[in-house]
Amino acid sequence: MNVMIRTILFSFAILLSNFAYASPDATTIFCQKYPNSGLCEDQAASCNVCHAGPPSLNDYGLSIKENIGGDLITNLPDALGKIEAIDSDGDGASNLTEIEENAHPGNADVKPGKDITVEYDRKMAFKRMKANYCGESATYQELKGLEAAADPKDYMHKALDVCLASDYWVKEALHRLADNKIMPNAAIGFGGSVVIGDYRFDYRLFSYIMSGGRDARELLSADYHVDENYNKIEGTVAREEGLQLGERIVIAGGQPLEVGRRVGMITTQWFLSNNTMFADLPRNSASQAYRAYLGLDLAKGEGLMPVPNEPRDVDNIDIAKPECAVCHSTLDPLAYSFASYRGIEIGVFDLLLNRIGTYNEGRTDWGGDGVIFGQPVQDLMEWASVARESDAFKKNLANMIFTQALSRKPFPHETAEFDALWQGLAAENYSVNAMIHRFVEMGSFGGKIK
């Protein structure tokens, strides 16, 4: 347990140090100058446009530094203009070309891709589809069948339907996709030596929602759980093991949160226990929800949206300093809504009544002060509603599916396809299966560079 607490504190210290030198104002100015750049798609450009990793500047950032001639914020617009014709990262494309074509002016590995043409290869797409969604190699007979099929596209999509209903996809591949969202740890999960939650519920809920053509927004709205046979469980779920405080410690289990306070993956007992732990203000819960389900990693300078008069430093940890406030002015308001849910609380009644992860409106004074994407929210229900209806949520879903299949982010020449992928979600009632059917027809999935 101490190791985990130390890890959380260490991670948080790193998070603070990363932002000591980054400036959200600078990214805002960058995006005001280049509003149509793909680098500005998520409200503000990421810190890595200029930084190799804060505080280190990349080649583009160094060019700005050489041309700034005074205060960063005042002089930045002029400095950006001065270096547009320069090729800071030496990859053969000017900074302006890279910015306009969704490449990266400070990273020589990311180049404009307008001159790239791709030819769709049905056989290759079929092989990738089988490997990725069935966990199998395409067989000789299947490829012969594809060649002979009157409608090869239909042949492939029928096979894809089989894959997406397979145990491999639902109970293995989707579980692996959920790993960095659930962040399991065998030592403190069900059956472990110090049990603070049962993440089996989290894996099942994630896979259930992400399969079967279900509405993926339920990741942030589901008020049910899923049993080992992948059937819905309505209502609370009693813990399987009773309280134990001996050689083995068991202080949680089941799903005790009242149905009316549930919002899917971010209100499971495990999520709240593992992320909130002992914190009055659950910053870790908020930042993990932001990262896992909206694709915005505050530690990388993503999704910074400072709220005026924040941070208020409600828990007195001395974060009013500018180098702390740069992050906490977004993070703390983001976290207030989580404060009404118990983390690990070790009062006698908390332990006896299995209260970890349950709702307690009076837990703090600031539970109703939340803000997400600049929008004030009264509670986590409203927080999750704003989150799941956002473009960030859709982009994150598309990014999950894209990177899971191809092990990489979209190349610059694939920007239009990627945009179509997430923008088409609403028309398909947020069905991940439907999105995958569209994805396998795209050049990014089944294309060869000509």
Partner 1 sequence: MKNLAILLLTAVLGSGLASCTKQKFKNASSSPSHAPGSKDGNDPAANKTPDDPKEEGMLVWKRYRAFEKGLMAGLELSKDQLCQEIETFNCIDKVHLTVLGGNDPFENGQHERAERPSVLTAVAVSRVLMAACSQRADLDLQAGSAGASVFKHFDLGAAAPTDAQIQAQATELFQRLLARDPSTEELSAIVDAKGNFASNRGLAVGICYAVGTHVENIFI
Nearer to partner 1, 131 or 194 (CB): 131
Tell me, what amino acid is at 142? E
Alpha carbon distance 324, 321 (integer Å): 5
**408-427 residues near partner 1, rule: CB under 8 A:** 408-409, 411, 413
Core vs surface per residue 362-394: b (16+ CB within 10 A) or e: ebbebbbbbbbbeeebebbbbbbbbbbebebbb
From the list 74-82, 116-124, 251-259, 316-324, the region that binds partner 1 by CB under 8 A is 116-124
CA distances to 268, 311, 424, 443 from 65, rounded to whole Å, are 46, 29, 41, 39
Q: Does 193 bind partner 1 (CB under 8 A)?
A: no
Least Å distance, CB 179 to partner 1, is 4
Alpha carbon distance 64, 80 (integer Å): 7
Name 376's bridge partners. Answer: 371
Nearer to partner 1, 178 or 326 (CB): 178
Q: Does 340 bind partner 1 (CB under 8 A)?
A: no
| Tokens linked to 319 | 């974060």
Binding mask 428-447 for partner 1 (x = CB under 8 A): ----------------x--x
Q: Does 301 bind partner 1 (CB under 8 A)?
A: no
Q: Site for partner 1 (CB under 8 A): which residue of 39, 76, 110, 226?
A: 110
DSSP classification of residue 93? S
Q: Site for partner 1 (CB under 8 A): which residue of 33, 122, 127, 438?
A: 127
Q: Site for partner 1 (CB under 8 A): which residue of 113, 197, 254, 264?
A: 113
Q: How many helices (H) and strands (E) does the chain have?
A: 20, 11
User: Three-state SS for 105?
Assistant: coil
From the list 16-24, 68-76, 166-174, 331-339, the region that binds partner 1 by CB under 8 A is 166-174
User: Three-state SS for 251?
Assistant: coil
Q: Does 406 bind partner 1 (CB under 8 A)?
A: yes
Nearer to partner 1, 115 or 234 (CB): 115
Nearer to partner 1, 118 or 377 (CB): 118
Alpha carbon distance 78, 71 (integer Å): 11
Q: Does 111 bind partner 1 (CB under 8 A)?
A: yes
Compute the residue count for the chain.
450
Helix/strand/coil (H/E/C) assignment for every residue in 388-414 = HCCHHHHHHHHHHHHHHHHCCCCCHHH
Q: Does 140 bind partner 1 (CB under 8 A)?
A: yes
Nearer to partner 1, 128 or 437 (CB): 128
Nearer to partner 1, 172 or 365 (CB): 172
DSSP classification of residue 169? I
Residues 6+ apart with CB under 8 A from 397: 216, 422, 425, 430, 432, 435
End-to-end CA distance of the chain: 54
Nearer to partner 1, 142 or 223 (CB): 142
Q: Does 382 bind partner 1 (CB under 8 A)?
A: no
Residues that bind partner 1 (CB under 8 A): 109-111, 113, 116, 118, 124, 127-128, 130-132, 134-140, 142-143, 168, 172-173, 176, 179-180, 182-186, 189, 405-409, 411, 413, 444, 447-449
